[in-house]
């Protein structure tokens, strides 16, 4: 009877689970192809093994959240190790309660590990329950990372895992009491539970063992069916999502526009035939669908998102969940043949959300959600299962901009300026050299070919050449390179915007126009090495231009300056007696993992006292300018730059330092507002780390206290 019940239950559960898996596979298989991911896995098997070891088995990202990470690691390893207990259960079901696999089911240390990891998992469940109660959205609202998650499913999961654990000890306790548990006292907790059954008759013990066996197997089967219908599908999909993730050093380049697995050729593209971004759920790639299905709803992305933290509607988590829910609703339609689609009634189509727009005020994603993103990368950095939120947001933006012509109106001015003048402000190209006139030495301007004696092309950037505050950084870097004896040159009027604002807005056509122009200029000039002061330029030149044939050795100015200081070519001397807090630019930090060098520069300046903000390095908070938001009005919630400056002010700084012209502008504007309201001291300023270095080297470090005439 035990065998019949066990096999019948297993057959039913596996059938239900298999039907769901086939349904999910059909959804993924219907997605746009993404052949490069498969090819990369084949080319880099060693990298995949490393990722599986560190991220899946090692729980690298989750362990950044100490207590929750340890609890999750315990539960995850219980999932792996307790498979051996289910192997025991299968043997007992098929071969009899007294049957054992020699070695595996008789060696004491295995029983010890099984009991220990089960108890660790139980402790993990208690931690999870405490975290969910403490961070309940009912208690703390938006501050909860679980806001918007399917909370009922999470509690069911905790309950089911608890059932797995107690049925295991019930089954093994009865097994020990009947003499069928070969681990002896090594399986110490099973042995302890078994003491409760002492004194019962043999038939009673066998009955209890059979009941425990069926309960243990039954819980697992019910849990399996539940998992494939819930967010806990990540138990099986997370390793796959980690396997097929992009593997840059940082967040990497924005992906080129693809249609049917091939790069989109704008000269031959047909909006009716080709896929321009993501205009409907069917346009997502199979990796996009895999991302949606893998989301654990943990909310770590949400808790770090600058938009969500300033009362804006964007939650990276809820964006993925909304896409997932829509995909599941519409899947019966878009996975069906044209003939089958024609048979659906209007009521069925409405239920399947066939005509629901992807991005619209009444659509799956509200436009305010889409345009709130700063591309800061906090979501991707924090996601424990490597979901690529920015890629999906960018692809939806591309469709809105290039096909629907729907985007914030003020960004249209920026696009026109890029097309007509080659910079976002619409200034004349001749103004790109005006900063040189303020120097007391000559700067080589590339006319045709770069000189053989020139080590670096100094990519000044639009802000560095045209924005007054950023010009100070440009001049400081130029002076420092000159003092260090580094031969450099600039392009001057030949330099155009890298196209980053256009690409991050979603206007890929304008980006490619500017990028191809710059690549042609750089290649014809024979440029090999570039130093850039703007992290956005740095990221585009280093990571995205290779997509168009522009392969250069690109460094950020903080990397080069730190090297020059380390090698003794630059020596800061004059003390700067100030308390300084450093703001990590997103495109320098999270996108490219440059955290150390800017701090190294400040550490070499005598007198400087550094104080980190609460959110820094990997968890740094955005200034609000990324994702082309530098050229869009911020009308919803608190301004992101104000939130960041509030955090900076909590360190009581004399100076806020950074390493990005956009951050200089955004933080500077917020500080000026604080000065106007009396919330910041008048002497507080925002400077680039290069400005601190040049002050100390040239001996121009100044006391910021007001000087009174005697």
Which run of H or of E encompasses 623? Answer: none
In this prediction, residue 705 carries a pLDDT of 42
pLDDT score at 709: 35
Q: How many CB atoms lie within 10 A of CB 159?
A: 12
Report the alpha-carbon distance of residue 157 to residue 222 in Å, rounded: 11
* Domain 423-564 belongs in CATH node 1.10.10: no
Q: What is the distance, to the nearest Å, from the Cα of residue 694 to the centroid of all Cα atoms in its chain?
A: 35
For residue 630, give both structure tokens. Answer: 């530098």
Closest CA to 589 of 413, 395, 404, 381: 381
Tell me if 411 sits within 8 A of 631, measured CB to CB. yes
Q: What is the CATH number of domain 566-698?
A: 3.40.50
> What residues contact 49, with CB distance under 8 A and at least 6 apart?
none
Domain 243-406 has CATH 1.10.1060: yes
CB 623 within 8 A of CB 655: no
The confidence score (pLDDT) of residue 710 equals: 32
Distance of alpha carbon 487 from the chain centroid: 38
The CA distance from 689 to 661, in Å, is 11
Cβ neighbours, 10 Å, residue 171: 27
- pLDDT at position 304: 95
Please tell me the distance from the alpha carbon of residue 546 to that of residue 527, in angstroms, as a whole number: 14
Burial letters 236-269, b for 16+ CB under 10 A, else e:
ebbbbbbbbbbbeebbbbbbbbbbeeeebeeeeb
369 φ/ψ angles, rounded to the nearest 5 degrees: -65, -45
User: Position of tokens 């993501």?
Assistant: 278
Give the pLDDT confidence score for residue 266 in this predicted structure: 84
DSSP 591: T
- For residue 351, report the phi and psi dihedrals to the nearest 5 degrees: -65, -30
Burial class (CB in 10 A: 0-12, 13-18, 19+), 452: exposed
Confidence (pLDDT) at 261: 83
Q: What is the mean pLDDT of each run of 10 residues along the chain (710 residues)?
A: 81 93 94 90 86 86 86 91 85 75 78 93 95 93 92 91 93 85 86 87 85 89 92 90 86 89 83 88 95 94 96 97 96 93 93 95 96 96 93 96 94 95 93 93 92 95 94 96 96 96 96 96 96 97 96 97 96 94 96 96 95 94 95 95 96 96 96 93 95 91 42
CA-nearest of 478, 487, 469 to 437 is: 478
**C-alpha span between 464 and 497 (Å, rounded):** 11
């Amino acid at each position: 009877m035990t065998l019949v019940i066990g096999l019948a239950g297993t057959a039913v559960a596996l059938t239900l689970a298999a039907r769901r898996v086939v349904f999910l596979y059909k959804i993924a298989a219907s997605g746009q192809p993404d052949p490069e991911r498969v090819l990369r896995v084949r080319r880099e098997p060693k990298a995949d093994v490393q990722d599986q070891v560190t991220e899946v088995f090692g729980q690298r990202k989750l362990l950044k959240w100490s207590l929750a990470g340890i609890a999750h690691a315990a539960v995850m390893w219980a999932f792996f190790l307790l498979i051996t207990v289910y192997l025991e259960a299968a043997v007992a079901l098929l071969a009899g309660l007294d049957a054992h696999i020699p070695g595996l089911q008789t060696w004491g240390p295995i029983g010890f590990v099984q009991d220990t990891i089960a108890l660790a998992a139980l402790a993990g469940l208690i931690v999870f329950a405490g975290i969910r109660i403490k961070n309940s959205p009912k208690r703390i609202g938006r501050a909860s990372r679980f806001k918007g998650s399917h909370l009922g499913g999470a509690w069911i999961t905790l309950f089911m895992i608890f059932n797995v654990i107690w049925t295991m000890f019930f089954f093994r306790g009865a097994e020990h009491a009947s003499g069928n548990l070969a681990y002896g006292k090594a399986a110490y907790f099973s042995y302890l539970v078994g003491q409760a059954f002492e004194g019962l008759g043999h038939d009673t013990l066998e009955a209890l063992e059979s009941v425990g066996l069926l309960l243990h197997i039954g819980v697992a089967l019910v849990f399996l069916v539940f998992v494939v219908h819930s967010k806990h599908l990540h138990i099986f999909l997370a390793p796959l999502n980690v396997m097929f993730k992009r593997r840059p050093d940082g967040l990497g380049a924005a992906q080129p526009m693809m249609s049917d697995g091939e790069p989109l050729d704008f000269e031959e593209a047909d909006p009716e035939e080709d896929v321009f971004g993501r205009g409907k759920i069917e346009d997502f790639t199979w990796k996009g669908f895999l991302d949606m299905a893998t989301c654990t709803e943990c909310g770590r992305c949400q808790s770090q998102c600058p938009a969500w933290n300033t009362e804006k509607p964007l939650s990276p988590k809820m964006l993925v969940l909304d896409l997932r829910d829509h995909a599941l609703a519409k899947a019966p339609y878009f996975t069906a043949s044209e003939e089958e689609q024609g048979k659906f009634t209007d009521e069925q189509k409405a239920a399947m959300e066939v005509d629901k727009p992807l991005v619209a005020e009444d659509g799956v994603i509200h436009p305010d959600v889409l345009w709130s993103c700063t591309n800061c990368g906090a979501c991707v950095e924090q996601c424990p299962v490597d979901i690529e939120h920015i890629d999906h947001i960018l692809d939806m933006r591309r469709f809105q901009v290039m096909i629907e012509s729907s985007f914030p109106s003020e960004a249209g001015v920026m696009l026109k300026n890029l097309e007509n003048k080659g910079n976002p402000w619409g200034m004349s190209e001749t103004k790109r050299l005006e900063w040189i006139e303020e120097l007391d030495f000559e700067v080589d301007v590339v006319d045709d070919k770069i000189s053989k004696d020139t080590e670096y092309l100094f990519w000044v950037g639009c802000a560095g050449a045209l924005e007054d505050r950023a010009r100070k950084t440009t001049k400081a870097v130029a002076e420092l390179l000159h003092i260090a004896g580094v031969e450099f040159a600039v392009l001057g009027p030949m330099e155009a915007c890298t196209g980053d604002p256009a690409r991050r807005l979603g206007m890929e056509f304008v980006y490619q126009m500017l990028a191809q122009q710059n690549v042609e200029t750089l290649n014809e000039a024979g440029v090999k090495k570039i130093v850039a002061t703007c992290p956005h330029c740095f990221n585009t030149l280093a990571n995205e231009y290779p997509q168009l044939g522009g392969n250069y050795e690109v460094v950020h100015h903080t990397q080069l300056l730190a090297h020059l200081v380390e090698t003794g070519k630059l020596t800061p001397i004059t003390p700067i007696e100030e308390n300084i807090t450093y703001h990590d630019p997103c495109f320098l930090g999270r996108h490219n993992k440059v955290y150390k060098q800017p701090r190294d520069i400040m550490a070499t300046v005598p007198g400087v006292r550094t104080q980190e903000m609460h959110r820094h390095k990997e968890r740094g908070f955005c200034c609000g300018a990324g994702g082309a938001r530098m050229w869009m009005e911020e009308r919803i919630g608190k301004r992101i730059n104000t939130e960041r400056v509030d955090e900076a002010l909590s360190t009581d700084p004399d100076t806020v330092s950074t390493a990005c012209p956009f951050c200089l502008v955004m933080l500077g504007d917020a500080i000026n507002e604080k000065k106007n309201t009396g919330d910041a001291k008048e002497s507080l300023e925002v400077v680039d780390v290069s400005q601190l270095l040049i002050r100390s080297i040239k001996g121009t470090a100044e006391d910021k206290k007001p000087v009174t005439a005697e």
